Amino acid sequence: MYIERILLKNFRNYTDAEIKFDPKTNIIFGSNAQGKTNLVEAVYYLCVGKSPRTPREKELIKTGQDKAYIRVDAVKKTGKVRIEAYLTRTENRRISINGIPIKRIGELMGTVNAVFFSPDELKIIKEAPENRRRFIDIDLSQLSRNYFYNLSRYNKILSQRNRLLKSQKNLKETVDIWDEQLADCGSRVAYQRKEFVRMLGAFASDAQSYLTDGKEILKVAYEGIKGDSADEIKQNFLKKLKAEKDYDIERGYTHTGIHKDDIALSVGGVDIRSFGSQGQQRTAALALKLAELQIFAHEVGETPVLILDDVFSELDEARRIRLIQKIDNIQTLITCTHFDNDINASFFKVSAGQIKSTK
């Protein structure tokens, strides 16, 4: 799949812009703070329904304007698809697919898939587990709408159980009801996460080896509730909830569950989440992104759009070359301040919210 074109009206620093992308490599270059990241942010937003930079959608509307509009036209094996988003400062956003408004964001998932990577993605490796869970959740939500709905339901039930624990009212009579529902949704989510991490580990190990010319092997493992099936995970989840019920009641918070899951990442037996060098962490983050591409190709039969935002500045020349060779046959949107002239790509210069094709 690939993005054929994008239209922006009053989005971030763009007043009115249109760009037609090449199905393969696209270099979006210019000085800092001109709008390069804003452009690829719009693409990603229409793929997953959220910005990679802010949870506050009103920040996406150009300063001094009341509304914004963005649209992408994409090409898939099944045909063309158009996604549109209307943002205003006074109402909820409206998103449509091929002219038909969607009622739930889950309907957008998987329409056009995207993988986003920027220097900020290093937090996947070296910061809190919630960043690694978010990484898994975004991918699995694009791959499976059932996953998205189960995860959303789990979070709602978790919130209700926590409110009950804080209220200290009728706990013994009602908390078991929430436990059954929490374990039911949570076990399905956990099983899919476990299977995803298993695939991720195999592909990421190959990618790390490729990027380092065989010098490093990345190992990836799921850290969560044990079990080889969703039912086994559910039973183990219920046992944990029961064992920690008094502790949860005392503290007013649910301490066990998939909201505590993590991914273990190691190179040469060293946990690179805490003890990896910056180079190892940077390469591992990129290896995970390349693994995402392979998982999508394996599961969906199409490679997603790859967005690399200011990544070249973080890689040495050898790894830049190996990366470009690796992604040569898929659509990639690369933002940078400068580039190597020998890259086979389409080039777009961005200056003060204006885009011009230069090659």
CATH code for residues 121-301: 1.20.1050.90
Tokens of 208: 């790390």
Cβ atoms of 134 and 67 within 8 Å: the answer is no
CATH class of residue range 1-113+302-359: alpha beta
- Whether 359 shows a pLDDT value over 90: the answer reads no
Taking only the tens place, the pLDDT of each residue in 301-355 is 999 999 999 988 778 888 888 888 888 889 999 999 987 667 888 999 999 999 9
Tokens of 255: 């301490």
Taking only the tens place, the pLDDT of each residue in 8-43 is 999 999 999 999 999 999 999 999 999 999 999 999
pLDDT-based confidence at residue 176 (cuts at 50, 70, 90): confident
pTM here? 0.91
Pairing of strands 332-336, 305-309: parallel
Domain ranges of the chain: 1-113+302-359, 121-301
Taking only the tens place, the pLDDT of each residue in 205-263 is 999 999 999 999 999 999 999 999 999 999 999 999 999 998 998 889 999 999 999 99
* Mean pLDDT of the chain, nearest integer: 93
Q: How much is the pLDDT for 343?
A: 80
Q: How much is the pLDDT for 170?
A: 67
CA distance 40 to 22: 14
